[in-house]
Amino acid sequence: MTDANGKDFVGVFEHAVTIEGPDDPRAATINCDGLGGFKLANAGVKLSGVAFTNFAAKAKMDGDSSALTVAAGLASNVVVDACNRPNRQKGNYVNIGPGAMLIDSLVTGAKSDSWGGGNVLVNVGGTVRNCSISNNNNDHTALISMGYDSASQKSARLEGCVITNNTVANGIVGCTGFMEDCLVAGNKSKNGSAILTLAESSRVRRCRILRNTTSAACVVGPGWCYDVNSGIWSPAFLENCLIAENSVSYAVAQSDNTRGAMTLVNMTVANNTCTRGGVFYGNNVKDDGTAIQYPNRHCMTNCILSANVVGSAVTNFVGRKLDGYLFVGHNCYSEAVEDDGNFNIAADPQLRTFGRKIYQPKQNSPCVGTGDKWFWTEDDVDLAGNPRLRKGTVDMGCYEPLFLGLLLMLK
């Protein structure tokens, strides 16, 4: 059938309706037979317990083709499996519209060839929550694209999601939105782009970014964060995150483009391998020595950088001259210059090890109680969900040690 725009779908729901399948959605599998998927087009639509498979884009659907389009309403406990986007067709595996939600669902086994879309698109005001996006293959664009509207200050949201073992051409998450409590692990970006690309006002909070690889870029890189017309900087924020055991070509957090701006607060960055560049790397000067018109602006505070390798050397902080636009204070990294008024320390952070890596400071770590507390309130929590403020102090890194015999294992 076709929707109001003449696009083909297996089903279009334009009136309020509830469709409930079994608890196991694969018991109610809809074989799209190479055609379009389902479209939810009314805020009153609720879809659950359904699996979609064997979706493929057609030329007639170009630009609006998805196995599941939640233009409005709610989809939960849904499986989108084995979708194929051949012959350079555009569109997305899953498209979440403004105000729409996808929760407790699985997107897996999808494949797209070069050029044509093939991602999970979360529009401004859309939410993807507690979903698994795993084992997909995308040969053209980022796996997940998120939107933000500066006028309304509304953003796309990615909450509590597991994003693992995907192979893509250009990055895992393109975020101009809000990302919280997510695991991004074991993914590969083949041709370029960062694992996470963070543009204006994006916020990444309490996420674990582990064991990803990219052959031509970095783990985290900012997009444009400066509005030329208004002259306003809107930096990307990363808070209480763990970035560990990634293997990348060019730095862990890097920006060589103009208008980039990142603020890193209470991050633990450890055991990453970079071919070149550095752990926190930026450039405000062109190769010919002239200044970039809109230089990068970065801030890093309360962070632990430990056991990272650049080239063949253990190097925890390498950055080009940033002409005063880089603030680094209250951090622990081996190259720190102590007693310069910025409260950085060069000591061993003494992170716990027990079997697999644990990135929680020991009780006698110099990172305990030495962070800057002005970022946090009594309601804020660390990566493990424990109070960020303890007895009026804040630790460096993503974890506040509890010292109750509890060991936080890296899963």
What's the pLDDT tens digit per position in 41-79? Answer: 888 888 888 887 777 655 444 445 677 888 888 999 988
Sheet holding 196-198, edge to edge: 11-13, 38-40, 68-70, 92-96, 119-122, 144-146, 173-175, 196-198, 220-222, 253-255, 280-282
Query: pLDDT tens digit string along 130-149?
Result: 999 999 888 777 788 887 66
The CB density around residue 399, as the number of other CB atoms within 10 Å, is 24
Comparing 20-34, 79-93, 166-180, 376-390, which segment has the lowest mean pLDDT? 20-34
pLDDT band at 181 (very low <50, low <70, confident <90, very high): very high
Q: Is the pLDDT of residue 36 over 90?
A: no
pLDDT band at 406 (very low <50, low <70, confident <90, very high): very low
- pLDDT score, position 323: 46
- pLDDT score, position 60: 42
Between 158 and 289, the more confident residue is 158
Q: Is the pLDDT of residue 408 over 50?
A: no
Comparing CA positions, the residue from 354, 368, 364, 369 lying closest to residue 406 is 354
- pLDDT score, position 205: 94
Q: How large a percentage of the chain has pLDDT more than 90?
A: 23
Q: Which amino acid is at 366?
A: P
Average pLDDT, the chain: 77
Average pLDDT over residues 352-378: 81
Sheet holding 247-250, edge to edge: 84-85, 111-112, 137-138, 167-170, 188-192, 213-214, 247-250, 273-276, 309-310, 313-314
Query: pLDDT tens digit string along 336-356?
Result: 877 777 888 999 999 886 445
- pLDDT score, position 86: 58
Q: Is the pLDDT of residue 182 over 90?
A: yes
Task: Identify whether the C-beta of residue 173 lies closer than 8 Å to the C-beta of residue 158.
Answer: yes
Q: Is the pLDDT of residue 94 over 90?
A: no
CA atoms within a 13 Å half-sphere pointing along the CA-CB vector of 66: 22
Most confident residue range from 231-235, 276-280, 373-377: 373-377
Average pLDDT over residues 169-182: 86
pLDDT band at 411 (very low <50, low <70, confident <90, very high): very low
Q: Is the pLDDT of residue 398 over 80?
A: yes
Q: Is the pLDDT of residue 410 over 90?
A: no
Q: Is the pLDDT of residue 111 over 60?
A: yes
pLDDT band at 237 (very low <50, low <70, confident <90, very high): confident
- pLDDT score, position 317: 64
C-alpha distances out from residue 106 to 128, 248, 300, Å: 11, 27, 35
Between 409 and 371, the more confident residue is 371
- pLDDT score, position 13: 58
- pLDDT score, position 38: 77
